[in-house]
Amino acid sequence: MFKQELYNRLLSSFEKLYGRKPDAVAYAPGRVEVLGNHTDYNEGFVLSAAIDYGTFFACARRKDMTCRLTAGDIMETVTFNADSPARSTTSGWSNYVKGVLAGLNAVKSPTQGFDALFLGDVPLGSGLSSSAALEMSTAIALENIYGITLDPIARAKIGQAAEHRFAGVKCGLLDQISSLCGRKNSLVETDFRSLAVTHVPFGQEASLLMCNTHAKHALVDGAYNERRAACEEATAFFAKTLSHPVKALRDVSVEEWEANRTAMPDLVARRAAHPIGENARVREGARLLAAGDLNGFGQLMFASHESSRMYFENSCPELDMIVEAARKIPGVMGARLSGGGFGGSVVVMVHPRDALAAGAALAGAYQHAFGQACDTCVLRPSDGARLIE
User: Looking at residue 301, which CATH number applies to its domain?
Assistant: 3.30.70.890
> Does residue 151 carry a catalytic annotation?
no
DSSP state of 312: I
Q: What is the mean pLDDT of residues 187-214?
A: 95
Confidence of residue 1 (pLDDT cuts 50, 70, 90): low
How buried is residue 233: exposed, middle or buried, by Cβ count under 10 Å (0-12/13-18/19+)?
A: middle
pTM, entire model: 0.93
- Is 342 within 8 Å of 350 (Cβ atoms)? no
From the list 131, 101, 132, the residue with the least C-alpha distance to 116 is 101
pLDDT of residue 324: 98
pLDDT of residue 168: 86
Q: Does the residue 52 lie in any domain?
A: yes
Number of domains in the chain: 2
On whether both 138 and 221 belong to a single domain, the answer is no
On whether both 91 and 169 belong to a single domain, the answer is yes
SS3 202: coil
Q: Does the residue 227 lie in any domain?
A: yes
CB proximity list for 132: less than 8 A, separation 6 or greater? 28, 30, 31, 159, 175, 176, 178, 179
On whether both 369 and 342 belong to a single domain, the answer is yes
| Catalytically annotated residue among 175, 266, 375, 383 | 175
On whether both 253 and 306 belong to a single domain, the answer is yes
Please state, in angstroms and rounded to a whole number, the distance separating the CA atoms of residues 178 and 29. 9
On whether both 171 and 211 belong to a single domain, the answer is no
- Is 126 within 8 Å of 55 (Cβ atoms)? no
On whether both 185 and 228 belong to a single domain, the answer is no
CATH number at residue 70: 3.30.230.10
On whether both 172 and 134 belong to a single domain, the answer is yes
Please state, in angstroms and rounded to a whole number, the distance separating the CA atoms of residues 376 and 355. 10
pLDDT of residue 246: 98
From the list 259, 293, 298, the residue with the least C-alpha distance to 276 is 259
pLDDT of residue 360: 96
Q: Does the residue 41 lie in any domain?
A: no
- Examine the pLDDT at 373 and tell me if it is beyond 90: no
Which range (120-129, 141-150, 332-341) has the least confidence? 120-129
Please state, in angstroms and rounded to a whole number, the distance separating the CA atoms of residues 135 and 28. 8
pLDDT of residue 165: 94
Q: Does the residue 350 lie in any domain?
A: yes
Average pLDDT of the chain to the nearest whole number:
95
On whether both 239 and 155 belong to a single domain, the answer is no
- Examine the pLDDT at 317 and tell me if it is beyond 60: yes
Distances (CA, A) of 12 to 18, 19, 130: 10, 10, 22
Q: Does the residue 39 lie in any domain?
A: no
**What is the number of helices (H) and of strands (E) in the chain?**
11, 12
| Domain around 182 | 4-34+46-201+383-388
On whether both 136 and 228 belong to a single domain, the answer is no
On whether both 117 and 246 belong to a single domain, the answer is no
pLDDT of residue 220: 55
